[in-house]
Each structure stands twice: as structure tokens, then as C-alpha cells.
């Protein structure tokens, strides 16, 4: 579990910083019910998992509220980081590659497709939902790049809601 958390926490922070409230909100966020936003984020995560189409293990946990940058803690977003693991790297890589066409086919707008800026040059795909309420980040973590580390291949996913003011 520790090795998955090691990879999940940076994704949480990266997605919050990169997606944050930039393209997904205006300076004044809409008032929305926190429970409905949490349920919507969970539903979106489930849809992403279905699109990925793998039957590996999935990390536990659900969407949690995080403050949106630039709003003094009054505005939140729901953040749901999770990973698929315990599968061969090749299966994860095929699923990641499929998502490049599956997301746009489902109306998602791809905002980034390439490698991140880390030393590992991790393949990263980001997209905004058709309604603009959610963003997703997928990262393909390759255990073959760190043969001496106690890591495993996984597909790291973070779903983030748009910023909102809790009702």
C-alpha cells in the first residue's frame, strides 16, 4: 500500500496544481451541494474506470474536498485519486493508449497528451469532461524504469471536479 500512496500523493498535488481552478471555474464559483459534487466525482471516476476496461486491483478511497487556489479556502473542488495495479505493464499501456481515442469519442476534450516534466518522463493524458464539470489526469507508471525500486506498474488516475462554493 505504501508504494501506491507514494505515487498517488504526488498525483493529487500535481492535478490540484495543474488543473486547480484554472480552466474549470470563473473567479466566482457557483454554489453547489457538496454531497452532490462528491457523488458526481465518484460517478465520473466510475465512468473512467469503465472506459479503461481493465480488471486489475483498484486502490480504495473516494472523492475528498480540497480548497481551490486563490479563493482563501471558501471555494472547494472534489479530488479523487486512484490507481489500477496488479496487471502487466503491457496491459496498462494498451489501456492508456486506448484512452487517447476513447475520451474524445465520449466528448472529452484532451488538454494534454505527452510526457510530464519529471525525470521519468511519465506519459500523461489530461482531459476535460463534455460539460466542463470534471477533469481527469491519467499517468502510466512504468516499473521497468526503476528495476531496483520496490514499485509496480500502475495506471494512476485523478478525477477533479470544477471549483464550487459549498451550499
Report the 3 state secondary structure along 101-123: HHHHHCCCEEEEEEECCCCCCCE
- Cβ atoms of 92 and 57 within 8 Å: the answer is no
The predicted structure's pLDDT at residue 26: 41
The residue that leads in pLDDT, 31 or 139, is 139
- What pTM does this model have? 0.80
Distances (CA, A) of 132 to 69, 80, 83, 114, 162: 18, 16, 23, 21, 7
Q: Return the C-alpha cell found at 26.
A: 470563473
DSSP state of 72: T
* pLDDT, tens digit, 9 for 90 and up, residues 2-11: 444 444 444 4
Across residues 49-76, what is the average pLDDT? 88
The residue that leads in pLDDT, 112 or 8, is 112
Give percent of the chain above pLDDT 70: 78
Across residues 45-65, what is the average pLDDT? 94
Whether pLDDT at 145 is above 70:
no
Q: Rounded to 10 degrees, what is the CA torsion of 117, 145, 82, 86? A: 170
Give the three-class secondary structure for 55.
coil
Amino acid at each position: 500500500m505504501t508504494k501506491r500512496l507514494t505515487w498517488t500523493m504526488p498525483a493529487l498535488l500535481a492535478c490540484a496544481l495543474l488543473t486547480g481552478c484554472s480552466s474549470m471555474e470563473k473567479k466566482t464559483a457557483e454554489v453547489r451541494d457538496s454531497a452532490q459534487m462528491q457523488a458526481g466525482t465518484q460517478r465520473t471516476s466510475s465512468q473512467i474506470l469503465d472506459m479503461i476496461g481493465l480488471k486489475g486491483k483498484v486502490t480504495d478511497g473516494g472523492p475528498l474536498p480540497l480548497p481551490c487556489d486563490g479563493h482563501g479556502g471558501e471555494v472547494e473542488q472534489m479530488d479523487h485519486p486512484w490507481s489500477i495495479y496488479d496487471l502487466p505493464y503491457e496491459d496498462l499501456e494498451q489501456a492508456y493508449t486506448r484512452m487517447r481515442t476513447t475520451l474524445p469519442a465520449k466528448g472529452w476534450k484532451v488538454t494534454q497528451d505527452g510526457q510530464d516534466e519529471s525525470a521519468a518522463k511519465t506519459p500523461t493524458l489530461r482531459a476535460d469532461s463534455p460539460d466542463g464539470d470534471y477533469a481527469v489526469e491519467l499517468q502510466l507508471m512504468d516499473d521497468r524504469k526503476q528495476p531496483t525500486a520496490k514499485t509496480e506498474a500502475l495506471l494512476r488516475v485523478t478525477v477533479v471536479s470544477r471549483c464550487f462554493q459549498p451550499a
